Structure 1
Amino acid sequence: MSANTKIVVLRRKELLYTGIFAALGVLFVILLLMLLLPGKAADTSGTPDSPDSTAETAMPDNVADLGRIPQSAQTEDVSTGAVADADAVLDNASGPVGTANTYIPGIYTTELILGSETVNVEVIVNDHAITSLSLADPDETLTTMYPLLEPTMDSLSEQICETQDLSQVTYSAETRYTSLVLL
């Protein structure tokens, strides 16, 4: 019986590297399992799950708060997010009947991007009606590239100021796409 002694030499540096890589491997497997396995992911963002949710959301800066009108009397245009008073009846001489103010008076602008050019659309409103819609300082290159832009805006402005209703706006087949972009 001879004793064969085997001597194993472990270096501290190799043990340290092995331990670090083993810990990183375990951490990687745990993270991979958390990402791939379905779990109880609670939505903590505060956004409602469905459009008919009753949770109150914050109004954007460019939308007027019409809190004085009861929710049952408001109608919302889903395409634009605009809120209008359903009980107000438009009277051309004196504005809406039965309401103090329908709009917050002011000049509102938004930027419209057409290709590589931009143009500002300006809407002027008083307490009771939209008084003017126009293109604010259209560039010469823009009017050259889009020749129907200004005449179409003038036509839409006339109709909107007269009827105060976007659903009653009409346009020809020639200006259909330009009108839709502007609306």
Structure 2
Amino acid sequence: MSSKTKILLLKKRELIYTLLFAALAVILIVLMIWMFLPAVRKSSQASASFSPGIYTSQVTLQNNTMDVEVRADHSGIRSIELRNLSDAVSAMYPAIQPSLDKLARQICDSQSLENIYYEKSSQYTSQMLLDAIRSALELAREI
């Protein structure tokens, strides 16, 4: 009698394991389909409309303040420039203007702050400038 009980328990256990593995397989298949299907993802930067105007964000380097100026209209970002860049700052940080020029070209072409490439030698300068551009664009969206 006890042998029949064990056989039934084994069958129940096998059934439970089979159901668990089947459920995991279905979940895995759904996740793989969800991950690998091409999704239409629009960048929040590119799809956003801006209020026309000139927006600035301040950047401070060793007690010297300069402005990152972003010009935008309804269709997107038109230009990005540095204002109030003193000779002392440009002498101390010679990579700041070329870095901004490269970033501005990429951002104006793509109308997005995503997938922006910069040289490893100027990554900190570029990241600081990107943060300033991002905060200026947030102002353009708020209005």
Shorter-normalised TM range: 0.5 to 0.7
Relative distance call for 1:170 and 1:128 in structure 2 (3 A) is same
Partner of 1:106: 53
Runs of at least 4 residues of structure 1 off by over 3 A? Answer: none
TM-score for both structures, normalised by structure 1: 0.45
Q: Retained in 1: the 8 A contact 2:59–2:68?
A: yes
2-structure distance, mates of 1:117, 1:168: 30
Give the 5 Å matches for 1:1-183: 84=44, 88=47, 102-183=49-130
Kindly report the root-mean-square deviation, in angstroms, between the aligned alpha carbons of the 2 structures. Answer: 2.2
2-structure distance, mates of 1:102, 1:116: 34
2-structure distance, mates of 1:85, 1:177: 22
2-structure distance, mates of 1:140, 1:174: 22
1-structure distance, mates of 2:77, 2:124: 23
TM-score for both structures, normalised by structure 2: 0.57
Which structure has the higher relative contact order (CA within 8 Å, separation 6+)?
Answer: 2
Partner of 1:45: none
Q: C-alpha offsets along residues 60-82 of structure 1, whole Å, 9 cap, x if unaligned?
A: xxxxxxxxxxxxxxx9x9xxxxx
2-structure distance, mates of 1:180, 1:103: 22
Task: Supply the AA of the counterpart residue of 1:135.
Answer: L
Q: Retained in 1: the 8 A contact 2:45–2:111?
A: no
Larger radius of gyration: 1
2-structure distance, mates of 1:134, 1:85: 18
1-structure distance, mates of 2:100, 2:84: 13
- The alignment of Structure 1 onto Structure 2 pairs a total of residues equal to 89
State, as a whole percentage, how many aligned pairs show the same letter. Answer: 35
Gapped runs of 5+ residues in structure 1? 1-74, 78-83, 89-100
